[in-house]
Amino acid sequence: MFDTLSDRLAATFKSLRGKGRLSEQDIDATCREIRIALLEADVALPAVRQFVAAVKQRSLGAEVSQALNPAQQVVKIVNEELISILGGQTRRIRFAKRPPTVIMLAGLQGSGKTTLAGKLGHWLKGQGHSPLLVAADLQRPNAVTQLQVVGERAGVAVFAPEPGNATGRTPTDGHSGDPIKVARDSLQHARDKMYDVVVVDTAGRLGIDAELMRQAADIRDAVGPDEILFVVDAMIGQDAVATAQAFLDGVGFDGVVLTKLDGDARGGAALSVAQMTGRQVMFASNGEKLDDFDVFHPDRMASRILG
């Protein structure tokens, strides 16, 4: 992902090389190229506008530097603006003063929440925590079983409703019941068994759905999460921003997790989510294996894009 964007930007900077001084026309032409590169990569238009305006203003006002030639100076400015659009500093999980820390996952179906729950559990374990994954997605057939499989693979405990514990909902994979009760009960279970981080997987639909949004908000109110993470598939293109906004309005979230960064889509929309929602990307997922996951570092991503 982002290969085309990297190539485009590299070509733009190449055309500046060897110039002793950049005229306003040079800077305008460069900004036009950067604008096209970002739009082609699917970055949302308002984010592109803001980005290009900042680069232009800073490039025009850039002091003559002894250390950097004008082309290098523009690259430095673009790098800093990229880091800024990606959220600036690395944002870490805020753990609760009194455990358990509750992390709730929200996002569309297929965005990668259940897979992420396993990865997050695995990662938390590696950090010396004792996580518990909670199956509060009782909507999607097999979601509970999938979380149990993922938990087993990660060596992380899973709290799930008893199979066949029907409370009026249609059983899907033998698990049924009230996801809000499951989420609430999981906290007591975590306290009893000394799990210090609870990761709550919630249901999502293929599109934004008022009932599901309400359910997620009810789960939120029942467990009082320390962190709500909005999980978004970087392959969904421009829909990422609208979806993020809908979840921000419907449930609210504290941080973003980008998934499927290993895909070959342009992915720029996902890069706009932080800027458009004011919430930082905290983790990135780039594959189906447990280890294909890491804390998101805006500076490293900017370096990767700039090649």
Distance CA 34, CA 22 (A): 16
Is 61 part of any known ligand binding site?
no
- Is 208 one of the binding residues for ligand GDP (CB under 6 A)? no
At 252 the three-state DSSP class reads coil
What is the nearest approach in angstroms of ligand GDP to the Cβ of residue 42?
18
| Alpha-carbon span 259 to 235, nearest angstrom | 8
Contact region with ligand GDP (CB under 6 A), list: 75-83, 109-117, 126-134, 273-281: 109-117
Residue 260 sits in the site that holds ligand GDP (CB under 6 A):
yes
Q: Write the binding mask 212 to 251 for ligand GDP: x where contact by CB under 6 A, - elsewhere.
A: ----------------------------------------
Touching ligand GDP, residues 53-92 (CB under 6 A)? none
Q: Are 100 and 186 in contact (CB under 8 A)?
A: no
Q: Is 175 in the site for ligand GDP (CB under 6 A)?
A: no
Interface with ligand GDP, residue 122, by CB under 6 A:
no
User: Are 136 and 218 contacting, i.e. CB atoms less than 8 angstroms apart?
Assistant: no
Q: Residues 175, 135: contact at Cβ < 8 Å?
A: yes
Q: Is 105 left (phi over 0), alpha (psi -120 to 50) or beta?
A: beta
**Residue 285 interacts with ligand GDP (CB under 6 A): yes or no:** yes
Ligand-binding site membership of 107 (annotated): yes
Q: Is 227 left (phi over 0), alpha (psi -120 to 50) or beta?
A: beta
Q: Which residues bind ligand GDP (CB under 6 A)?
A: 107, 109-115, 204, 259-260, 262, 285-288, 292
